[in-house]
Amino acid sequence: MKKKQTISLLWRFLKGAKRYFLITILAAGITALADMLQPQIIRAAVDCALGGEEGDFPAFVMELVDRIGGFAYLGQHLWIMALAVLAVALVQVVSQYAFRVYNTKASETLVKTMRDQLFSHIQHLPFSWHMKNRTGDIIQRCTSDIDTTKNFLSEQLTAIFRIALLLILSITFMLSMHPLLTLIALIPTPIIIVYSFHFHNQVHDGFETCDESEGKLSAMAQENLTGVRVVRAFGQERSEIEKFGKQNDHYTSLWEKMGKTLSRFWSISDILSGVQIMLVVIFGAYFCIRGNLRSGEYIAFISYNSMMVWPIRQLGRMISELSKAGVSIDRVAYIMNSPVEQDAPDAVDAPMDGDICFEHVSFAYENSPEILHDIHFTMQAGTTLGILGGTGSGKSTLMLLLDKLYPLEEGCGRITIGGTDIRQIRTAHLRRNIGMVLQEPYLFSRTIAENIGIASPELDMEAIRAAAQAAALDESITSFTAGYDTMVGERGVTLSGGQKQRTAIARMLVNDTPILIFDDSLSAVDTQTDAKIRKSIQQRFGKASVILISHRITTLSAADKIIVLDGGRIAEEGTHDELKTARGIYQKIYEAQSGIQEVTE
């Protein structure tokens, strides 16, 4: 079943490249046929044209020779045979050129298709899948594993047809000239084939281990390059270098072990191939002396034996590459076979401006204890809901469930918008109508304007600037030399924490969605800017349903309703005025923060 899935996947990847591979195979076949003709021309020249012996070539060849004037005539005009050799060589050159050109086209088309399909599939995989798989490992599967697959298909698989043709034709011609010598030449072949397949079983696991180790190394490098500021801020350069060096040493030792295994195989293979050539040379010379083999046939036989030795030796390399490609294809197939997000068959584009209800919602992440316990509340449309709670209380999880970034399993309650269960709402429609600023805003390595308008490329500069003004960001941007064309470094490293948060807020505001979620996204701005942003949002999105997650009481105080989470349960619920005197968690935090403010003043 797994092999069928792999073949089916490769067939999908070959879309657009099949015709190029067919031309490549045809060119390889013509090259192989041309290779076969050269020894026969030399044999005819030595034995018939110069030696004066009768030819035993196919009837159409003998007829052609007779038309020219016979072998005696050719012996007097050897330039004709030289011209035949040149003509065959020209065919070889043209077919080899076609092979290289179309093989390159086929392989690059294959790579493009693989990358396009893989990237598209990754984009549609669930959020939970991305949380379980390391970024560096995914990148490796999309790069080196694709290249390994391409190299096998373009260099090895296409050569199989040429090798098969060479073997069949070589053995056929050799049998026609001297059956006994052919059998002697084939003595080492079964040993090479059996050993090659034994070798394949040895190296497959080794290649898989090396690939996994490379994935860990890539992930480590990616994490360190991304978090370089944290590494340097805590002076952990030496520690990280040691960790990387340890993993790199382990990775190197694995390949050294593989190198020894490969060296043993190639050494034994070379010895067996040398024995085969030696047997042909010795016994061929013996048969020539005894008069059982003509000189031209001996020369041709050695040529065919060399052609046969090469494919047999290539068998080991092909099996080695097959092992590597098999591991790489399996790693790519892991991604392609991972199920993407799918809507219910009867999913609808429901109105998104209704009440939001969490009805007895319980949730646990995979292989983790339950984090939300029987959450039940209603948020009226057009109001502002504040959510307060300690770290790990489930605040962000509520919003991830609302946006269907994590699926809510059947029997774990339900979430509705305007009375429609979000499971029945088309995911793309749901997310288009929910604007979310995550706890850790992510910015791309593009200009500030491109980052703000990334979800709506058709927006003009006026709309982008209006969103930036609503997020209290316009003044900061205009102070930059390049203004809105300022390039943002990777993950937004060129901006301060507050500027990154406000850029992410502006990016959300340009979409004018009926539901706005701020997941602790005002924590890096001062209280005045916080108030200014909330006031701008209220003026611009007065009818929107706004969810504020924050640890700052001043951010939540103007909310129409506030819920306090504790240990994954709703501990308190009410307005700011009700909760600040309710002798609960909210009051303690309110008094603590008010005290800090008084001391500061």
Q: Whole-model pTM?
A: 0.70
pLDDT of residue 519 exceeding 70, the answer is: yes
* CATH fold for domain 438-512: Rossmann fold (3.40.50)
Nearest residue to 559 via CA among 576, 573, 545: 576
Q: pLDDT (tens digit, 9 = 90+) per residue, 461-512? A: 888 888 888 888 888 888 888 888 888 866 556 677 778 888 888 888 888 8
Q: pLDDT (tens digit, 9 = 90+) per residue, 186-224? A: 877 777 777 777 776 667 677 778 877 877 887 788 777
Instruction: Give the 3-state DSSP-derived string for 416-470, with helices as H, strands as E and coil as C.
Output: EECCEEHHHECHHHHHHCEEEECCCCCCCCCEHHHHHCCCCCCCCHHHHHHHHHH
Output 488 or 573, whichever has higher pLDDT.
573
Secondary element (H or E) of residue 547 = strand 545-549
pLDDT of residue 594 exceeding 70, the answer is: yes
Q: What is the pLDDT of residue 66?
A: 76
For the chain, give every domain's residue range.
2-336, 346-433+514-530+542-601, 438-512
Contact partners, residue 531, CB within 8 Å, separation at least 6: 554
Cα 106 to Cα 574: distance, rounded to the nearest angstrom: 65
Q: Do 2-336 and 438-512 show the same overall fold?
A: no
> The domain 346-433+514-530+542-601: what is its CATH number?
3.40.50.300
> The domain 2-336: what is its CATH number?
1.20.1560.10
DSSP state of 492: G
Rank 17-31, 155-169, 349-363, 583-597 by mean pLDDT and report only the highest: 349-363
Fill in the amino acid letter for 87: A
Q: Which two tokens stand for residue 76?
A: 């007097």
CA distances from 58 to 51, 77, 175, 295, 526 (A): 19, 22, 15, 20, 94
Q: Which two tokens stand for residue 161?
A: 């047809």
DSSP state of 371: E
Strand partners, 312: none
Cα 436 to Cα 513: distance, rounded to the nearest angstrom: 10
Q: Write out the E strands in 285-411.
A: 356-364, 370-379, 384-389
Nearest residue to 343 via CA among 232, 421, 250: 421
Q: Could you give the 3-state DSSP secondary structure of residue 414?
A: strand
CB 292 within 8 A of CB 122: no
Residue 601 binned pLDDT confidence (cut-offs 50, 70, 90): very low
